[in-house]
Amino acid sequence: MSVSETAEKINSMEVRGALRIAVEAARALEEELVNGASYDELVRAGDVLRDARPTAVSLPNSINYVLHLAESHKDNDPVVAKPMLLADISDFISKLEGSLDKIAEYGANLIEEGDVLLTICNSHTVTEIMKRAWADGKRFKVYACETRPRLQGHITVKDLQATGVDVTLIVDSAAYHTMIHKDVKKVFVGADTVYSNGDVINKIGTSQVALTAKHSGAEFIVCTSSIKFSPFSVHGEVVEIEERDASEVAELPGVKVFNPAFDITPKEHVNMIVTEDGVIPPEAAYQVLKDRFGWSLG
Amino acid sequence: MSVSETAEKINSMEVRGALRIAVEAARALEEELVNGASYDELVRAGDVLRDARPTAVSLPNSINYVLHLAESHKDNDPVVAKPMLLADISDFISKLEGSLDKIAEYGANLIEEGDVLLTICNSHTVTEIMKRAWADGKRFKVYACETRPRLQGHITVKDLQATGVDVTLIVDSAAYHTMIHKDVKKVFVGADTVYSNGDVINKIGTSQVALTAKHSGAEFIVCTSSIKFSPFSVHGEVVEIEERDASEVAELPGVKVFNPAFDITPKEHVNMIVTEDGVIPPEAAYQVLKDRFGWSLG
Amino acid sequence: MSVSETAEKINSMEVRGALRIAVEAARALEEELVNGASYDELVRAGDVLRDARPTAVSLPNSINYVLHLAESHKDNDPVVAKPMLLADISDFISKLEGSLDKIAEYGANLIEEGDVLLTICNSHTVTEIMKRAWADGKRFKVYACETRPRLQGHITVKDLQATGVDVTLIVDSAAYHTMIHKDVKKVFVGADTVYSNGDVINKIGTSQVALTAKHSGAEFIVCTSSIKFSPFSVHGEVVEIEERDASEVAELPGVKVFNPAFDITPKEHVNMIVTEDGVIPPEAAYQVLKDRFGWSLG
Amino acid sequence: MSVSETAEKINSMEVRGALRIAVEAARALEEELVNGASYDELVRAGDVLRDARPTAVSLPNSINYVLHLAESHKDNDPVVAKPMLLADISDFISKLEGSLDKIAEYGANLIEEGDVLLTICNSHTVTEIMKRAWADGKRFKVYACETRPRLQGHITVKDLQATGVDVTLIVDSAAYHTMIHKDVKKVFVGADTVYSNGDVINKIGTSQVALTAKHSGAEFIVCTSSIKFSPFSVHGEVVEIEERDASEVAELPGVKVFNPAFDITPKEHVNMIVTEDGVIPPEAAYQVLKDRFGWSLG
Amino acid sequence: MSVSETAEKINSMEVRGALRIAVEAARALEEELVNGASYDELVRAGDVLRDARPTAVSLPNSINYVLHLAESHKDNDPVVAKPMLLADISDFISKLEGSLDKIAEYGANLIEEGDVLLTICNSHTVTEIMKRAWADGKRFKVYACETRPRLQGHITVKDLQATGVDVTLIVDSAAYHTMIHKDVKKVFVGADTVYSNGDVINKIGTSQVALTAKHSGAEFIVCTSSIKFSPFSVHGEVVEIEERDASEVAELPGVKVFNPAFDITPKEHVNMIVTEDGVIPPEAAYQVLKDRFGWSLG
Amino acid sequence: MSVSETAEKINSMEVRGALRIAVEAARALEEELVNGASYDELVRAGDVLRDARPTAVSLPNSINYVLHLAESHKDNDPVVAKPMLLADISDFISKLEGSLDKIAEYGANLIEEGDVLLTICNSHTVTEIMKRAWADGKRFKVYACETRPRLQGHITVKDLQATGVDVTLIVDSAAYHTMIHKDVKKVFVGADTVYSNGDVINKIGTSQVALTAKHSGAEFIVCTSSIKFSPFSVHGEVVEIEERDASEVAELPGVKVFNPAFDITPKEHVNMIVTEDGVIPPEAAYQVLKDRFGWSLG
């Protein structure tokens, strides 16, 4: 898919999901390179792609990584350098594509026979983990928050139910009561962005679930590829929380609505983050960022 | 209104609201007495009324109080006793009817110019407080949780808006984020039942809001008439949390839904309870119960 | 039983248990009175009894109450006063003797079908509660801490097992792990002394269990007659924590041992106290003391 | 002292200290009565006195109590009523004057041999407690916060030192560090006002000391006469925190200064309140108010 | 010692202690290699050793590390490779053997003159630290929990006492009371396993001591070689908590006993871990694992 | 400046500020080297400099780093090695000098339009951050604690005011009240030393501000160059908290004063540390130390 086509599909949300976006952006640059693009053209292609979705951190992360690879080869003999670069990009894409599988494996290991789990929103990573554990023969219960205003919890419930996972829907405000009275042991959630200090940005309601998990003795487990860790946060850049349209919440003429799309869960309420690099404490976010994007943090 | 008519209207929820139920039950017994009922007939009338709504504590509280008055007069000369009893019952009804006004006055005093408030569900007591403070000339902001699954928050929003109070609707899961980022100072909620140790039963989601209030530094204020304090809890009797129909939450065929109607907020998350007897710490619930229903606590 | 005999049996611990001690002391004074003792002789008898066990608060509470009754009659015509006094003392003893039954009833009401409970030490009040709930047909599990160094938990386990209650023994240090992994919902313990601010003195280990209960989301419920509430604490008098002999812990020659017999659980870790006057928050201790011993608080 | 003279001395702070103010106001009304004032003149005298210091709760409490006494006698034969009223007022004054002694006794009982104590500001009640305990032969250490901006801690230090108490001065910001590293066991502070829900208003810095006490395992003990409990707070009336002049903090031309004189310590950080009625949990504030000022809470 | 002999001694617990096990396993493989074992034979020897004690993480860690070294040399000329491999193994063993000394040095540095310490169970690492600090001339007190059911605290007490360290035995349930009333400043414990997110598995009771340390203001310090850090936990594998025989706790026929051998202390209750690589926050566990076992985490 | 001159100026505090000290010490060694000093002479010069200020960690860190560079070149041909060494030292000094700028940039990014900030003491790093954010056009409020006993807050206030930043002075004990009532969102402080486990040593009062920030929902942000991270703490060495003269606090003859200059903020109260390497969680301190001073941690 060409750069412009990819940018368009990312913009129109035809290509969605942080991991998919990262993969498609890298592929578009790869194709550009195959088609003979120079380093400078690649940089410009990166700019086009980057503008397609200004808020998702996986997009600039992927583009910057490919450009970083390109830059490190740029002064070498193109005959030798180009195949090496293409191989590097291909490796990067493979690793991205394989990350979901790794996280599913590690996350499924964390689920124990007889567990009671809870989740909020619809994280593909989280449902993969649960389905993997179920396929491994473990039996457990899942409570899924409906996740107002857009009710993504319905997708979660249908997806899990289709594979036979024992899942029950609750309203968001019943999360704490359910944790206490149904003996929830672990909460699994996805992430939108992970800050360098370990704080986690995710769907509105997540920080509330994390606080209540801590107070009811449940573990709070974030599941996400490291492509969503923000190198920008290393420089202190903060994500502006998107406020969405009132109509998502209610069609009440003249009624004011405050509709934030995300919130921030502080690191001290997160027991662990499951990444393709393994199970880490949130505080290892900085190390992961240095290992992966250290070249860009100068 | 006759006993049977009252019982029917309470049962069909034509008569609703804890205070209204208490008043109408007392009135029905009063009418019975005027019509010449004996003490034993009054007791039987009480049984009929009591069965009309087994879960609301204000109903047996009101009936038992009237019967207690009747009993204390029962061995006296009816010519003298009956007018005295009717006067006592009339006093009791007046006090019940006046309690909302008192709570509105005391609660409104707690609101300060420039405050940011939050509420969940639709408590008539809470909206009265806010409207009173607004009428007193104080200017403040209110955030109202929509209160899934039945969206009683919409009633709250419309009610406040109609009197000009500056109110904004949020989804339930945005309560914590709103408290932190909009500097919420005080949370006002109603109550369904208050236990003798100060724990408060209220609409599902309340305990979650109380916990998040504590963690964001906001005061959590329960507003309720003492007719909802449970003398049964003095004897260790616990309220069974009602589980309501799945269809209230979602129409998803085959999907399991857990839909508890209430939850329990522990006393340590409650800063104060505003009653018609004044502003009390939740731990004074036992004292209020002894003062009011001590005769029944044997 | 004569005053001297009673004093001796209390001293030798033949008469033991706070409630039994209180009852026997009151009975000894009653007998003294029947035998013609004057008010001053009664006061002296009280001194003898009081010295039999200097640390148990129920003993002076009982004696002081009887003397208070005696004093209020002392200036009246003995022919009238004595029978009235004897009747008052008899009432007091009946109430004391009935208190265990009341607490058992109220405490049993707090136990719900399917509950998982935990207790430490051997409280007759607590085992009565559990046996009553079991006899009521409720089915639940109990974990009992062995309660080093004297292993009173063994008595608890055998006592419960004899009536068929499903009980399991654990070492004291497994309490927190058990609460989390076995979903303990409620902890029931007795009390040695209750302070006027609601703090509770009980067997060493209790404060640790209370803290862990709070952190694992379990309710911490103290069960005790109000005869153990300390009027002395109203005046700021503190109980000196008894340190017992090293040999209770280990026979290791030359090894230093610190063996405190009790500890203090702060009110904020106590959800409720079950007394014969009902279920109260710990903070109502002062009110209970005023209601019962107000005459002595001058 | 006449009403106008008393009012002037209260206004000019020649008469200061909540207890002294209460006593002198009651005495002025007593004198007025002796001089033949009618009930209406007494009410007007009360108004004059009340205006002398609008923020101290002990002043209206004292005046209202005396007027309440006067009102209850007002319709009786003055020949009989006046001496009775004067006796009642005299009793009230005696009780006020004796309250410091009671609190000193109860508070001193709470101090144990070898204790390490901490205090902030200069509370006459607190220093009396410490001096009483020291006079009782107990040996302990005291850390006194200097209490910026007016350095009332210097008065505390000199006062304690003059009676030989082992006292050490610290800056306010060293309170937490001192608690941890010098093993502070108990913090004693006075109070300006106690709310009906148990919250305590006292000198700026108190709420910070209370929080750090809780986190370092020290008990936080408020010492105050019940004349400072606010009946107005029963009706939800809140105290406006006084902001004092910038020059108290620093003489820096053009520099903005925020100089609040008081802050509010929430009840959950207060272990007990020592009053002349004994040691109570803060949550018993409502009960104390009802016992003392119940007639005014209607 | 041959592989089979070593395996047997590990299995029979003649060789015990995580570090000793790791050293002996490495030595057995070294000897195998000296005796001419091929790479495949070494792998099989590793399997034999691994099966000797399935739950101790130091055993597979040591075996895997030696096999990793062997694998990296396996395709080279044996004449050159074998001496290099033997040198590498020898280095590894030296480092293992030296780690206790390093930890003792670093841990002893953390002890300050006049400290009051507490420990649970018998950790050789912890006693080495205390003995080293004592030998350095520092004077401090130690409280040792008896550690039911196997009373390993007795070994701790005797070991410390033999070198003159001032040590006192307590029952496990007295830990919290002792921390508060004896001003415990630091708790030192060993570890069985450290998870990649910083959670620590250790003897039953440890998590309870950690919680109480946090609440009494004491530091909680884990002391352990990095050979006990679990690379398996990076992949989400959880340790199943061993349940041991009832007879260890009590010989009460027919009595059910729950006897878990270990528990899990969450990272937020751990102030630091002292390893041979220095003093680290628990959250650095992932970094240590990557530095040491990164080759195996692929 | 010569080594002896530099040492003298550091000793007399003419050269002050951790970063300046580090730079000047490195420069003195650089000059020594330019003047022909041998490696051994350099080591001795390091000793002289190190003694000039025994407590500041940036001084030995800088010296040790330069000596480490020197050592790595010491066995090479001086003709080649010396210029290389001088270049390395020059790089090191540049990086040191540039670190303030980096921290200012990253820290300023963390400040958001409309924020309310609070600081204690006078940290040049913190004021640079605030001035940078202000210069970027962001508008916010700052509350500055006066910082007894030496009132460094006055310097902060004047410095910020001179650049137009909206700053208000408060007494130290008003920090908690201000956080709650003025909606403080973020606290920025400097650091004296950072431990390898993430604990932070800073001016007395800092740990109290951190605790109150946590309880009022404000973020606590430490701003410091990594030159203040302590490699000594990796080995368990603890900083002895300096106690300064009584006269700094008050001139009260015969009055004991406890005047600690610093305190320790535990890692769990620190949201992030802003360093020249980016924004890190405090728990990444160990990683930063390994990256920077790993050669010295052997």
A211-234 confidence digits (pLDDT tens): 999 999 999 999 999 999 999 999
pLDDT at D174: 98
Percent of chain A whose pLDDT exceeds 70: 100
Is D touching A (3+ C-beta pairs, cut-off 8 A)? no
Name E56's Cβ contacts closer than 8 Å, sequence gap at least 6: E18, E21, E192
Reported as a pLDDT band with limits 50, 70 and 90, residue A140 is very high
| CB contacts, 8 Å: D287 with chain B | 284, 287
Q: Decide which of A102, A127, A153 is a domain's last residue.
A: A102
Interatomic CA distance for residues E160 and E163, integer angstroms: 5
- pLDDT(F230) > 80: yes
**Chain B interface disruption, residue of A171, A179, A204, A263, most B CBs within 10 A:** A171
Nearest chain A residue (CA) to F283: A283
pLDDT at E298: 63
Of residues F159, F192, F263, F277, which has the active-site annotation? F192
Put simply, the answer to whether D281 touches B277 (Cβ < 8 Å) is no
Put simply, the answer to whether F266 touches E271 (Cβ < 8 Å) is yes
| CB contacts, 8 Å: E215 with chain D | 217
- pLDDT(A152) > 70: yes
pLDDT at F298: 62
Put simply, the answer to whether E177 touches C148 (Cβ < 8 Å) is no
Reported as a pLDDT band with limits 50, 70 and 90, residue C31 is very high
| CB contacts, 8 Å: D209 with chain F | 173
pLDDT at F31: 96
| CB contacts, 8 Å: F268 with chain E | 268
Q: Decide which of C71, C102, C133 is a domain's last residue.
A: C102
Q: How many CB atoms lie within 10 A of CB A256?
A: 16
| CB contacts, 8 Å: A234 with chain F | 106, 278-279
Put simply, the answer to whether A283 touches F287 (Cβ < 8 Å) is no
Reported as a pLDDT band with limits 50, 70 and 90, residue D80 is confident
Which residue in D238, D266, D297 is closest to B112 by CB distance? D238
Of residues B77, B91, B101, B192, which has the active-site annotation? B192
Of residues D159, D192, D199, D277, which has the active-site annotation? D192
**Are residues E13 and E84 both part of a single domain?**
yes
**Are residues E89 and E113 both part of a single domain?**
no
- pLDDT(B56) > 80: no
- Please list the active-site residues of C: 121, 192
Put simply, the answer to whether C107 touches B196 (Cβ < 8 Å) is no
- pLDDT, one tens digit per residue, over D202-241 is 999 999 999 999 999 999 999 999 999 999 999 999 999 9
**Nearest CA of chain D to the CA of C274: how many Å?**
18
Instruction: Name the DSSP class of F16.
Output: -
Of B286, B273, B289, nearest to B125 (Cα)? Answer: B273
**Are residues E44 and E118 both part of a single domain?**
no
Put simply, the answer to whether D279 touches C233 (Cβ < 8 Å) is yes
**Are residues A78 and A53 both part of a single domain?**
yes
| Subunits with 3+ C-beta pairs closer than 8 A to D | B, C, E, F
CATH of the domain at E76: 1.20.120.420
Residues lower than pLDDT 50 in chain E: none
**Nearest CA of chain B to the CA of F187: how many Å?**
15
Q: Decide which of F102, F120, F138 is a domain's last residue.
A: F102
Which residue in C180, C215, C217 is closest to A180 by CB distance? C217
Put simply, the answer to whether B255 touches A120 (Cβ < 8 Å) is no
**Are residues E134 and E94 both part of a single domain?**
no
Put simply, the answer to whether B169 touches A258 (Cβ < 8 Å) is yes
**Are residues C169 and C39 both part of a single domain?**
no
Interatomic CA distance for residues E156 and E256, integer angstroms: 30
Put simply, the answer to whether D279 touches C195 (Cβ < 8 Å) is yes
Average pLDDT, chain C: 95
Mean pLDDT within A279-283: 98
**Are residues E96 and E133 both part of a single domain?**
no
Helices then strands, each counted (H, E), chain F: 11, 11
- pLDDT, one tens digit per residue, over A173-193 is 999 999 999 999 999 999 999
Tell the burial category of E296 from Cβ atoms under 10 Å away from its Cβ (0-12, 13-18, 19+).
middle
Per DSSP bridges, beta strands E256-257 and C166-170 are parallel
**Nearest CA of chain F to the CA of E205: how many Å?**
23
Put simply, the answer to whether A236 touches F277 (Cβ < 8 Å) is no
- pLDDT, one tens digit per residue, over F31-81 is 999 999 999 999 999 999 999 987 779 999 999 999 999 998 888 888 888
Reported as a pLDDT band with limits 50, 70 and 90, residue A298 is low
| CB contacts, 8 Å: A171 with chain B | 148-149, 172, 204-205, 249, 259
**Are residues B93 and B170 both part of a single domain?**
no
- Please list the active-site residues of A: 121, 192
Tell the burial category of F246 from Cβ atoms under 10 Å away from its Cβ (0-12, 13-18, 19+).
middle
- pLDDT, one tens digit per residue, over A55-94 is 779 999 999 999 999 998 888 888 888 999 999 999 999 9
Is F touching C (3+ C-beta pairs, cut-off 8 A)? no
Put simply, the answer to whether F278 touches A286 (Cβ < 8 Å) is yes
**Nearest CA of chain F to the CA of D258: how many Å?**
6
Is B touching D (3+ C-beta pairs, cut-off 8 A)? yes
| CB contacts, 8 Å: F183 with chain B | 183
**Are residues E192 and E282 both part of a single domain?**
yes
B192 in active site: yes
Put simply, the answer to whether A236 touches F284 (Cβ < 8 Å) is no
Q: Which amino acid is at E167?
A: V
- pLDDT(D128) > 70: yes
Average pLDDT, chain F: 95
Query: Is the C-alpha dihedral spanning A195, A198, A201, A202 positive or negative?
Result: positive
| Subunits with 3+ C-beta pairs closer than 8 A to E | A, C, D, F
D192 in active site: yes
Average pLDDT, chain B: 95
**Chain A interface disruption, residue of B155, B189, B208, most A CBs within 10 A:** B208
Interatomic CA distance for residues C127 and A141, integer angstroms: 34
**Nearest CA of chain D to the CA of C161: how many Å?**
39
Is-contact B281 D283, C-beta < 8 A? yes
Q: Which domain holds residue A128?
A: 109-296
**Nearest CA of chain F to the CA of B183: how many Å?**
6
CATH of the domain at D237: 3.40.50.10470
- pLDDT, one tens digit per residue, over B171-229 is 999 999 999 999 999 999 999 999 999 999 999 999 999 999 999 999 999 999 999 99
- pLDDT(F153) > 70: yes
Name C205's Cβ contacts closer than 8 Å, sequence gap at least 6: C120, C121, C145, C147, C148, C172, C263, E171, E172, E173, E174
**Are residues C164 and C210 both part of a single domain?**
yes
Mean pLDDT within C67-71: 93
Q: Three-state SS for A235?
A: coil
By a Cβ cutoff of 8 Å, what residues of chain F touch chain A?
A: 105-110, 112, 268, 271-272, 274, 277-284, 287
Put simply, the answer to whether C216 touches A217 (Cβ < 8 Å) is yes
**Are residues F175 and F230 both part of a single domain?**
yes
Number of domains into which chain B is organized: 2
**Nearest CA of chain B to the CA of C197: how many Å?**
12
Is-contact D281 D230, C-beta < 8 A? no
Tell the burial category of D247 from Cβ atoms under 10 Å away from its Cβ (0-12, 13-18, 19+).
exposed
What is the DSSP code string of F17-30?
A: SHHHHHHHHHHHHH
List C-alpha distances in Å: F275 to E187, F225, F267, F286: 31, 5, 16, 13
pLDDT at B298: 61
Put simply, the answer to whether D285 touches B283 (Cβ < 8 Å) is no
- pLDDT, one tens digit per residue, over C71-100 is 988 888 888 889 999 999 999 999 999 999
Rounded to the nearest 10°, the torsion over CA E208, E210, E213, E219 is: 170
By a Cβ cutoff of 8 Å, what residues of chain C touch chain D?
A: 195-199, 233-238, 266-268, 281-283, 285-287, 290, 297
pLDDT at B75: 82
pLDDT at D298: 62
Percent of chain C whose pLDDT exceeds 70: 100
pLDDT at C74: 83
**Are residues E93 and E201 both part of a single domain?**
no
- pLDDT(C298) > 70: no
Q: E36: which 2 tokens?
A: 């001419």
| CB contacts, 8 Å: F162 with chain D | none
- pLDDT(C102) > 80: yes
Q: Does this complex have an ipTM over 0.90?
A: yes
pLDDT at A75: 82
**Nearest CA of chain B to the CA of C103: how many Å?**
9
